[in-house]
């Protein structure tokens, strides 16, 4: 990915020339492409609504997808979209000006869902769940109006891990945000191409590119969230055993229904002696590992 003056997308103008940044950029592009391939995200004639909040993750998403498209490695049309939900002090001109300057096709829409959330959510309670539902409904509507086949989100590896533990600790279920999902109506895909990317890499990339970051706490409802508690827990594990996050993530890609407890996923009732193939990688009785 050597940027020549006549062969570079505006999103990468001014990219640092350091070896460290080039390695970071290459890793992000490589892992984004791997997730797209591994989870079968590309459909013939696809048009993606790439959701842009103005945070480090969505900027990284837009840059990675644009790089792949620019290099002919992502044969889809991209429409960036920002939904201004009416949060107090939201800098409404930042993203339109940035996208115009970067020559990125986009749609910016104002929908005051913030007032609805404030009216419905009791004082002191977290607004995020209702805000997210309202945002998702509007993004689905916009995607349909624009003829898009998928809504593309900037959730990264750490978001996926945190959601897994939130479901585990507070929902009593093994579930997280999948990289590819079909919506309930069955007419739109939801993609998360940054599924393999660490949050730290998104932060380093967006900071190095000096993208105009919009803070995610404008509504003032972020403090004390359970997600922050999970993040702190994972930070502690990572500090004590570097690489722990990646090991947990890999485990999510290596599920064994026969070694869990859900009879809806594995037919324990129908399991009889003499017809089971031995799994040599499965733990044996007395195995302490």
Q: Model confidence over 226-252: pLDDT tens digits?
A: 888 999 999 999 999 999 999 999 999
- The pLDDT, as a whole number, for residue 138 is 93
Q: Is residue 51 part of a domain?
A: yes
Q: Which CATH number is 32's domain given?
A: 3.40.50.620
Residue with the bigger pLDDT between 1 and 150: it is: 150
Local confidence band at 275 (pLDDT 50, 70, 90 cut-offs)? low
- The pLDDT, as a whole number, for residue 119 is 79
Domain, as residue range, for 45 = 15-224
Number of separate domains in the chain: 1
Q: Is residue 6 part of a domain?
A: no
155 DSSP 8-state letter: -
- The pLDDT, as a whole number, for residue 7 is 73
Local confidence band at 289 (pLDDT 50, 70, 90 cut-offs)? very low
Over residues 249-256, the mean pLDDT reads 96
- The pLDDT, as a whole number, for residue 280 is 47
- For residue 176, what are the CA distances in angstroms to 179, 182, 198? 10, 14, 16
- The pLDDT, as a whole number, for residue 225 is 75
- The pLDDT, as a whole number, for residue 276 is 56
User: What does pLDDT average to over the chain?
Assistant: 89
Compute how many other C-beta atoms are within 10 angstroms of the C-beta atom of residue 53. Answer: 19
- The pLDDT, as a whole number, for residue 255 is 95
| Per-residue pLDDT at 283 exceeds 70 | no
Q: Is residue 10 part of a domain?
A: no
- The pLDDT, as a whole number, for residue 108 is 95
pTM exceeds 0.75 for this model = yes
Over residues 274-289, the mean pLDDT reads 50
- The pLDDT, as a whole number, for residue 153 is 97
- The pLDDT, as a whole number, for residue 220 is 52
Contact 220, 127 (CB under 8 A): no
Q: Is residue 130 part of a domain?
A: yes
| Per-residue pLDDT at 129 exceeds 80 | no
Residue appearing with tokens 């940035």:
98
Lowest mean pLDDT among 16-25, 145-154, 208-217: 208-217
- Beta strands 77-84 and 106-110 are parallel
| Alpha-carbon span 222 to 227, nearest angstrom | 9
Q: Is residue 218 part of a domain?
A: yes
Starting at the earlier edge strand, list the strands of the sheet with 47-51: 106-110, 77-84, 47-51, 150-152, 189-191, 180-182
| Per-residue pLDDT at 72 exceeds 70 | yes
Q: Is residue 77 part of a domain?
A: yes
Lowest mean pLDDT among 15-24, 83-92, 242-251, 274-283: 274-283
Residue with the bigger pLDDT between 190 and 278: it is: 190
| Per-residue pLDDT at 87 exceeds 90 | no
Q: Is residue 112 part of a domain?
A: yes
Local confidence band at 286 (pLDDT 50, 70, 90 cut-offs)? very low
Local confidence band at 122 (pLDDT 50, 70, 90 cut-offs)? confident
Over residues 131-153, the mean pLDDT reads 94
- The pLDDT, as a whole number, for residue 287 is 45
Q: Is residue 137 part of a domain?
A: yes
């Amino acid at each position: 990915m050597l940027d020549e003056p006549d062969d570079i997308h505006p999103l990468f103008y001014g990219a640092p020339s350091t070896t460290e940044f080039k390695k970071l950029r290459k890793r992000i592009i490589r892992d984004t492409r791997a997730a797209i391939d591994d989870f079968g995200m590309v459909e013939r004639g696809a048009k993606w609504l790439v959701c842009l909040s103005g945070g480090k993750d969505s900027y990284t998403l837009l840059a990675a997808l644009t790089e792949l498209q620019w290099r002919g490695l992502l044969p889809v049309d991209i429409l960036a979209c920002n939904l201004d939900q009416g949060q107090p002090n939201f800098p409404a001109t930042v993203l339109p000006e940035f996208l115009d300057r970067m020559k990125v096709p986009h749609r910016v829409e104002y929908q005051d869902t913030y007032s609805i959330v404030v009216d419905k959510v009791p004082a002191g309670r977290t607004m995020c769940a209702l805000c997210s539902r309202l945002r998702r409904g509007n993004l689905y509507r916009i995607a349909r109006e624009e003829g898009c086949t998928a809504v593309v989100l900037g959730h990264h590896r750490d978001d996926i891990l945190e959601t897994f533990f939130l479901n585990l600790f507070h929902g009593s279920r093994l579930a997280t945000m999948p990289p590819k999902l079909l919506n309930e109506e069955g007419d739109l895909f939801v993609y998360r191409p940054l599924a393999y990317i660490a949050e730290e890499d998104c932060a380093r990339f967006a900071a190095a590119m000096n993208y105009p970051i919009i803070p995610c706490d404008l509504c003032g409802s972020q403090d004390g969230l359970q997600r922050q508690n999970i993040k702190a827990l994972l930070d502690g594990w990572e500090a004590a055993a570097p690489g722990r996050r990646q090991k947990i993530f890999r485990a999510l890609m290596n599920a064994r229904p026969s070694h869990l407890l859900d009879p809806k996923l594995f037919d324990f009732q129908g399991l009889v002696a003499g017809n089971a193939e031995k799994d040599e990688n499965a733990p044996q009785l007395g195995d302490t590992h």
